Amino acid sequence: MPGPQREFNLKQVAALLDVHYMTAYRYVRSRQLAARQIGTTWIISAEDLAAFQRHRALRVVAPEVPTTRTWRERIRPALESGDEVEGWRILESALNSGLAPLECYLDILVGAVTDSSDSSRKEPLVAEYLAISTASRLVARLGARLRRPGRSRGTVIFGAPAGEYHSFPIAVVADLVRLHGFTCVELGPNVPPRVFAQSLEGVHRVVAIGIGMTMSTHLPVLLETVAVVREADPSIPIVLGGQATLDDSADFPIAGTFWAPDGRSALELFNELAEQRRPLWAQSAG
């Protein structure tokens, strides 16, 4: 008869403690709960878990780490004042507290930039421009810190269509996609339709082309871009995203394309597309 279980993974620990998985993860990252890492898996011994539960019962466990909203509120003044150093300090503190990279990108940085903007104003304030500019630099630093070498799961090409100059949303999603093992080709903003098509040349194992758009007034050039890409290679999935895709006045999704309303759904979609296209790559390699 097997003896009692001596080791647990984070999912099992979360169930035993009756907390969310991310809460258990934060206990480990903040060193409240002792654990060792094997590859990408955290392992907690029965002894360490019992010690944690005893301390927890005695209420000597450190307080819960701040929520993503708290971190977002902390970083917003740094973004709006252009203080990259302070912004980076706050981001590092959030990571060290146990927040996942996905939360740092989407809930803290993107959330703070969104909070900084006010659609009711006719003209944006200087603070809004500073927030986006500073957040963009922090995205680059965060990506450089978190990126790890390894075999690519495929290539995703990103860009914004001609006339679209907002590159921050694309940079965020591209970094998240890289962290999940993909190679990214970032064309940047204001990309003509033919350049999207030309970017496919010589690129192997293409998962999809991701096109971000913040203004629905650019819909005609987006339609042209989709048509040009399809003419170059009709088999390549095209994923549309950005604020413009949420505009009720725009007709989304465009027939034959995929739609990602936010960063999390975009990441899930690229993962799904990679799995769907893997057999095609195997056939072409054979």
Residues of the chain with CATH 3.40.50.280: 151-285
> What is the rounded average pLDDT of the residues 58-69?
61
- Architecture category of domain 66-146 in CATH: Orthogonal Bundle (1.10)
Residues of the chain with CATH 1.10.1240: 66-146
Q: What is the pLDDT of residues 108-122, one digit of tens each?
A: 999 999 998 865 565
Look at residue 21 in the predicted model and tell me its pLDDT. 76
Walk across the sheet containing 7-9 and list its strands.
7-9, 41-45, 36-38
Give the N- to C-terminal CA distance of the chain in Å, as an integer.
49
Q: What is the band of 85 on the pLDDT scale with cuts at 50, 70, 90?
A: very high
Residues of the chain with CATH 1.10.1660: 7-61
Q: Return the SS3 of 46.
A: helix
Does pTM surpass 0.75? no
d(Cα 111, Cα 69) in Å, to the nearest integer? 8
Domain boundaries 7-61, corresponding CATH code: 1.10.1660
d(Cα 151, Cα 186) in Å, to the nearest integer? 19
Q: Return the SS3 of 120.
A: coil
CB distance 8 to 52 below 8 Å:
no
CB proximity list for 167: less than 8 A, separation 6 or greater = 136, 160, 188, 189
**Domain 151-285 has what CATH class?**
alpha beta
The phi and psi torsions of 159 (rounded to 5 degrees) equal -175, 165
CB distance 176 to 110 below 8 Å:
no
Look at residue 60 in the predicted model and tell me its pLDDT. 46
H runs (alpha helix) in the chain: 10-17, 21-29, 46-57, 68-80, 84-96, 101-102, 111-116, 126-146, 168-179, 193-198, 219-232, 263-285
Q: What is the band of 244 on the pLDDT scale with cuts at 50, 70, 90?
A: low
**pLDDT > 50? residue 29:** yes
